[in-house]
Each structure stands twice: as structure tokens, then as C-alpha cells.
Structure 1
Amino acid sequence: MTQKKNTPVSGPHQSIPASNERETFTSIFLDHLWARYRKRVSYIAAYETIIASAGARFFNDHIAFRTLAATRPQTGVSSISRIFEALDYRASECYEFPQKHLNAIHFQHPNPQFPKLFISELKTWELPAKVQEIVLPVLGTHRDPISEETLSRLCHLDGVQGSDHAELLQSVVNEIHDLPWSAPQQEDVVNVNKASQYAAWVLVHGYNVNHFTSLINAHAVESLDDIEKTVGALSAAGVPMKENIEGSPGSKLRQTATKAVVVDVEIRDGEQMSTMPWTYAYLELAQRDKIENSQTGETVRFEGFLGSQATNLFEMTKRS
């Protein structure tokens, strides 16, 4: 289903100083993703009130996306990463989660003010045969992949007037927001969820943002200068939080999150279109510490991810 024409949005990414037209486009694109996510994740309003009252600021550390990897059609990380690669993002590091049948790639932009991307994929061939029999026919209805023409236009934005970008922006926003396959049967989603909550999530949400992430280091005020204080402020505001923090005090990366909100998703009930409630997204909090660069000896902030911690955060969208 094609969405309505994009209207101007405001958000945290358009404040990033852009050095070229592609960066300007990227910031607007990311703010469109933020706007829909913010509207659907009610806890964002509470977080924004907290940081505004404290005089802090929000810096988006990373955005997470989920995909299903298959061969017919060819799907997985590349289903959406090509868009970001055309906008100058580059693969930085790979991660494996064998127990969850997942791979992930962390993408980085040359402008460090832009958020990192964490795009994961579930290897469908590792699922039980009965689950594959449900998932693969749905993937078989996948829309055509993004065209080389669209990727080329993204890659050659510099020198093109911004007024000519509206249609292109609409098309890439739709690539993320529109369900890329036919809505699944309600019974099938429930059955897939028993084997893989990740697979069920992607079936109903497609390539929509899984979470944005507040970088605690950027708060720059004493009242919110560590992850415990920020969790305390959110809890006091009535925001339900993950029970524990991933990473001990002093470690190079500490993470936690709000609980995931529940939204209505489109499904089929026999021949009829319908909706059902399903977990959607959450706000992650990340606190990054300094490490020593093994090659230069320089002290730098850790900018990667830790597989063991990400494993637990995948569970935030678990649906009982």
C-alpha cells in the first residue's frame, strides 16, 4: 500500500550540519522515519519532556532494522541496506547470533553525526520445516527490489536541486514503511511466533524501524549523565523499562530500553483483511565509554556493538 505524499517533518537529524546534498537528503529521510516511529511509540513524548526539562539534548546513536534472509526471492540485509549504501553508509562490522539464527551488519556514515545502523537478518533456512512452509510463501509475494535507477539517483544527488527530490524521498520512505509482501494470515503469525518471535515481528512489520537509540553521553547534564539516572527519570515518569541494564558499570557499552509498545498490524483472517495487536518498537538507551585504539594507542570512544548484549535486546519485542 503506497502511503500518502510526504509532508515536511522536523526531527533530530536535520540539525546535523550537511556538507553536501546527499547528506541533506539523508537527514530528511531519517527524520521521516523518526516522525512515524515517534508517533507510534508513546514513550518518546515522556523522554522528550524529561530531557527538555533538564536542558539535555537527544543524539541518535543508532537505528535498528530487521529482515528475513531467503534466496527466492533474494532478501535479507541487502533488501534495505542498498538504500543507505547509496547514501554513503558503509559496512563496518559483522555479528553472528547462532542461537537466534541471526546475522547482523553495523553500518557507519563518514559523517560521525549521523546515526549508525544495525541491520539484522534471520536465516529462514535454519527455521523448522513447518515454519519455513509458512514464511517462504509470504516472502514469495515480496515486491520487486529497489531499482538500480533509484539507487543511482540517490548516489548522484549532489548538484540536483532539492525541489526535485520529493518523489525520490517518497519512494525510499515507502521502501521502509510499506509492508513489502502480502499481509500474512493471523493464524500463521501466531504459529511462527512460537518458533521465532523475530520472524513473526518481521512478517507483520516488514522493514519498519525496530528502534532508535538515545546516546546517554550526549545528554551533557548532571541529572541525566549516566544510564541509571536516565532509567530512573523514565521510570518515575511512568515509562515501563527493561528489568536490567546490559553491561556493568565502567564497561565500554551499556544498554537498556523501554518496553516495546503494541500497535495494530494488518493481517488476513481467511479472505478478509483485518488487524491484530502486536509488539512494535521501543526506545533504546546506550552509554559508551572510552577504549584504547589497539593500532594507535589513542583513547577513543567505543562505537561498536557487543553481540551478547544485542542478543538480549532482541527479546524486547517478544510477544507472549
Structure 2
Amino acid sequence: MLNDILDGLMSRYQQRVPDVAAVITAMIRDGLIKNAADIENDHIAFRTMGVPHLGVQSLEKIFLHYGYTKMDHYHFAAKKLDAWWYAPPAPQYPRIFISELRVSDLSKQAQDIIYSYTGDVKADPVTTLNLDDSQAVDTFLHGGLWRTPTLADFKVLAAESEYAAWVIYNRYYLNHFTVSVHNLPAGYNTVAGFNTFLEKNGFILNDAGGKIKTSPDGNLLQSATVARMIDAVFAGGETYQIAGSYVEFAERKVLPQFAHLPASQIERRHRREGFEAGNADKIFESTYTAQTKKSS
């Protein structure tokens, strides 16, 4: 059932994010992989609102039910966000990263707009969801939790928090999936090498904080494409281009205590685990105007 849920998320995500198919096609064409199934998905990410009945405390129930374990907490003061990551029940599954907007830290105007939508949710919707019905879970993750926002409200939120604006329109839509590059062929198995491949193929990279985001210990390196703009239809039928989702790339280095192991014996548990707030802070900006204007 977890496979069904993850497949549902990925299929809709690929339909809406052209860069996914484009990256996979380029990887197959250049012989990095034979087919899409060869890609190791490092993690997937969701964005939520910290409001009554919703947010992380609600969404996480789905993945905890399927055997995920809640791990470290991260705080992003400037972006007014909190986040947690979740370790999968088995190594073939992706990690999950769920972030949450600290709505109470926003201006009263922004809070009033958000609550005018999320206030329609009177109880935690996950509590009434049959978590053993993968089809029901899949439908829930792609359904609307509140009514479609007006373009005017979207623009007011975007002026204060681009994250808030993204979530008010996209709800729980999958924000990104992540290609693990460290298991790819030599020359492509580092973020630096893979970025070269991406740019050679015309992909635009998020350069907030540099194109490669590196953890202080040097063992987690990440990069991401810039989200492409999509035509969003707002309440009343108004259409406006907004940031969609994007693709991320991660390189997890082998931990020093396992450096003696031959490459053929290296497993996920031998590599750097978890996330890094400094890296994630800049990855968030793949949907922000300063980055997306490069792709428009």
C-alpha cells in the first residue's frame, strides 16, 4: 500500500513537473541509468500550514501509519518555518521531509487571509481517513483541503511569504523528489559532476547560496532545479503564472568509519543521514521569484 501511495504521488508530480521526465530522459540517453526505476529517490517533500487541525501533526499521521519514524526538527527563523524529517520503514523507500509555516508569526493581514481558507477545516481530516485504504490516501493527498484562493489573496500572501502563497494554492501537492546521485556512474556521482550534466542539458539551477548547498561537515551536498512556472486558475477563473514544483539532487558521502569498505558493499546506512537546515533553507527558494524569474 505504501508503494501505491508513493506511486500516486510521483505520477501526478511527473505530469505537472516537465523537468522530471526531461531529467530522466537525459539520464537514459547518456547511459547513466537504463530506466526510471534505476533512480534512487533520496527524499520527497511536502509543505504545510501551521493552523488548527492541519499542518505537520495531521499530515505526518499518514506516514507514521506506514512505518515511518519521526526524526530531527529544523527551524528556519527568517522564513518562519519549522520542519521534520521521517526515516522510512525500509531502505528502498524515500525519506520524507515535511515543513510547516509558522502562521502565527505572520502579519495579521496574512493570518486573516490564511484562516479565511483553512478555517473551513473544522477537524483533522486524517482522523477520518481510512489509512489502510491506499486509494483513499492517494485521493486525499491530491484533493483540496480548502477552497481555491483568489488571485488577490495569493498576491498579498506572496508579498510577505512566498511559501504561504505556494501552499495556499498547491495544498499538499508534492513539492519535490530527489535524485540520489552518489550511486550513479563515475563522473556523475557527485553533485558537482551531475550539475555539469544538468546545465549541459539546459536545466536551470537554483543558485541561492551557491548552486551546491553543502553541510558544515561536508558530507551532504544538494542542488535543485528552479521551479518552472505553471498556469494556475484562481477563484473566479482568473489565470496567473505561479511557481510549480522542482527536482532536487543529493549526494550523501560515506561516513569516515566506513571509508574502508569497498564500493560494492556500501549501503544507505553507511552514508551521511538526515538533513541540514542551511542547505534546506536555500533549497526552499527554488519556488521563490528571485529564482523562478530565471526560467520564465
TM over 0.5: yes
TM-score after normalising by structure 1: 0.79
Q: What letter is aligned with 1:117?
A: I
Q: 1:227 aligns with which of 191, 197, 202?
A: 191
Q: Does 1:246 align with 2:213?
A: yes
Does the 8 Å contact 1:104/1:118 carry over to 2? yes
Aligned to 2:58: 79
1:198-220 alpha-carbon deviations (Å, 9 max, x no partner): 0000000000000000001122x
Q: CA contact under 8 A between 1:247 and 1:254: conserved in structure 2? A: yes
Give, in angstroms, the shift of residue 144 of structure 1. 5.0
- The answer to whether residue 121 in structure 2 is matched with residue 107 in structure 1 is no
Is contact 1:205–1:265 with CA below 8 Å preserved after alignment?
Answer: no
What is the aligned residue count?
A: 271
Aligned to 1:274: 238
Q: Tell me the equivalent position of 1:313.
A: 283
Letter in 1 for 2:47: R
Alignment gaps of 5+ in structure 2: 258-268, 291-296
Verify the 8 A CA contact 1:142 1:182 in the aligned structure 2.
no
CA contact (8 A) 1:46 1:239 kept: no
Structure 1: how far apart are the matches of 2:49 and 2:219? 30
Aligned-residue CA RMSD in angstroms? 2.0
Structure 2 counterpart of 1:287, one-letter code? E
Q: 2:62, 2:126 within 8 Å by CA — same for their partners in 1?
A: no
Q: Does the 8 Å CA contact 2:81/2:102 hold for their aligned counterparts?
A: yes
Q: Which residue of 2 is the match for residue 184 of structure 1? A: 149
- Structure 2 partner of 1:13: none
Where does residue 42 of structure 2 map in the other structure?
Answer: 61
Aligned partner of 2:6 in structure 1 is 30
| 1:168-210 per-position Cα deviation (integer Å, ceiling 9, x unaligned) | 3332112211121011111110011010000000000000000
Q: Is the 8 Å Cα contact of residues 40 and 180 (structure 2) preserved in structure 1?
A: yes
Greater alpha carbon shift after TM alignment, 198-207 vs 103-112? 103-112
Separation in structure 1 between the aligned mates of residue 124 and residue 240 of structure 2, nearest angstrom: 27
Task: Map 1:1-320 to 2 at 5 A.
Answer: 25-52=1-28, 53-56=30-33, 57-71=38-52, 74-142=53-121, 145-148=124-127, 150-151=129-130, 153-154=131-132, 168-219=133-184, 221-243=185-207, 244-247=211-214, 251-268=218-235, 272-291=236-255, 300-319=270-289
**1:319 Cα deviation from its structure 2 partner:** 3.0
How far apart are 1:147 and its partner, in Å? 4.8
Q: Secondary structure at the match of 2:99?
A: strand
Supply the distance in 2 between the matched residues of 1:250 and 1:70 (Cα, whole angstroms). Answer: 35
CA distance, structure 2, for counterparts of residue 186 and residue 319 of structure 1: 16
**Percent of aligned positions that are identical:** 31
Distance of 1:266 and 1:84 partners within structure 2? 30
Query: How far apart are the structure 2 equivalents of 1:308 and 1:223?
Result: 26
Greater displacement, 89-98 / 208-217: 89-98
SS state at 1:44 partner: helix
Render the CA deviation track for 1:257-300: whole Å, top value 9, x for unaligned: 011012222311xxx2333221011100000113357xxxxx93
Q: Which runs of 5+ in 1 are unaligned?
A: 1-24, 155-167, 294-298
1:248 Cα deviation (Å)?
7.3
2:194 is paired with a residue whose SS is helix
With the length of structure 2 as denominator, give the TM-score of the two structures.
0.86
Which AA in structure 2 matches 1:247? T
Q: Give distance in 2, aligned partners of 1:316 and 1:201.
A: 11
Cα shift at 1:146? 3.1
